[in-house]
């Protein structure tokens, strides 16, 4: 007595490809979890150990040669770094406006928007928050314009003491884009 033949439908090519991709994904996950992660962790530990050894070597070299020349060299490097950082802080503080100039900064933003050909739909100033060494006024701004004009506007704002916190883009009115910016204006 012969066994009856079961006629199964042919598996379509797309299902074969999906099965192959699934098998590849399982192999990749297995490789990643059992082969890659332990080696990556070991490499990270070795790099950290190497960095700590380099720091120890620098300390030992300083202690082995405690001459005035070495100490003066270290002190000179520290002083140069202090001067550099002080100059950078002075430049950064020079870019900040005073608190009284928040309204002028808002005028400057609207002027830049007009120059870039952007329509300001809404401008909502929020609270003024005092940070460590400066003040920050948050504002939400809804603008409308073409992509190139929006890019030009954001690029021009880089020159101002403004921090862009978040950005949302939507395409409600084509070909124009609508953008919601959450900005912080920084001041002394």
Grade residue 178 by pLDDT with cuts at 50, 70 and 90: confident
The structural architecture, per CATH, of the domain 99-187 is 2-Layer Sandwich (3.30)
Query: 6-64: per-residue pLDDT in tens?
Result: 777 788 888 888 888 888 888 878 777 776 677 777 777 777 887 787 777 776 666 65
pLDDT at 99: 56
The tokens describing 56, both together, are 């120890």
Give me the residues paired with residue 127 across strands: none
Beta-carbon contacts of 161 under 8 Å, excluding residues fewer than 6 positions away, are: 95, 96, 97, 105, 185, 186, 187
pLDDT at 183: 74
Grade residue 65 by pLDDT with cuts at 50, 70 and 90: low
* Extents of the domains making up the chain: 99-187
Neighbours of 32 (CB within 10 A): 11
Neighbours of 98 (CB within 10 A): 10
At 148 the three-state DSSP class reads helix
Does the pLDDT at position 93 exceed 80? no
- The highest-confidence range among 31-35, 122-126, 175-179, 180-184, by mean pLDDT, is 122-126
Does the pLDDT at position 125 exceed 70? yes
The tokens describing 42, both together, are 């070991």
pLDDT at 154: 83
Who has greater pLDDT, 102 or 96? Answer: 102
The tokens describing 97, both together, are 């406006």
Grade residue 73 by pLDDT with cuts at 50, 70 and 90: confident
pLDDT at 63: 61
Does the pLDDT at position 108 exceed 70? yes
Question: For the ranges 56-65, 99-108, 153-162, which has the lowest average pLDDT?
Answer: 56-65
CA distances from 117 to 114, 145, 180 (A): 5, 7, 16
pLDDT at 95: 57
At 167 the three-state DSSP class reads strand
Grade residue 103 by pLDDT with cuts at 50, 70 and 90: confident
């Amino acid at each position: 007595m012969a066994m009856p033949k079961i006629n199964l439908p042919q598996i379509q090519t797309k299902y074969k490809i999906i099965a192959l991709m699934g098998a590849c994904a399982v192999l990749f996950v297995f490789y990643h979890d059992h082969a890659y992660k332990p080696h990556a962790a070991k490499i990270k530990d070795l790099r950290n150990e190497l960095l700590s050894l380099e720091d120890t070597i620098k300390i030992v070299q300083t202690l082995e040669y405690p001459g005035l020349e070495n100490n003066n060299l270290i002190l000179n490097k520290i002083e140069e770094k202090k001067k550099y950082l002080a100059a950078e802080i002075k430049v950064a503080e020079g870019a900040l406006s005073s608190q009284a100039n928040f309204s002028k900064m808002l005028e400057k933003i609207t002027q830049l928007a007009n120059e870039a050909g952007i329509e300001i739909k809404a401008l909502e100033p929020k609270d003024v928050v005092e940070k460590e060494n400066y003040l920050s006024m948050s504002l939400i701004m809804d603008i409308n314009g073409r992509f190139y004009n929006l890019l030009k506007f954001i690029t021009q704002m880089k020159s101002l003491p403004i921090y862009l916190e978040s950005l949302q883009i939507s395409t409600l009115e084509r070909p124009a884009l609508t953008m919601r910016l959450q900005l912080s204006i920084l001041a002394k």
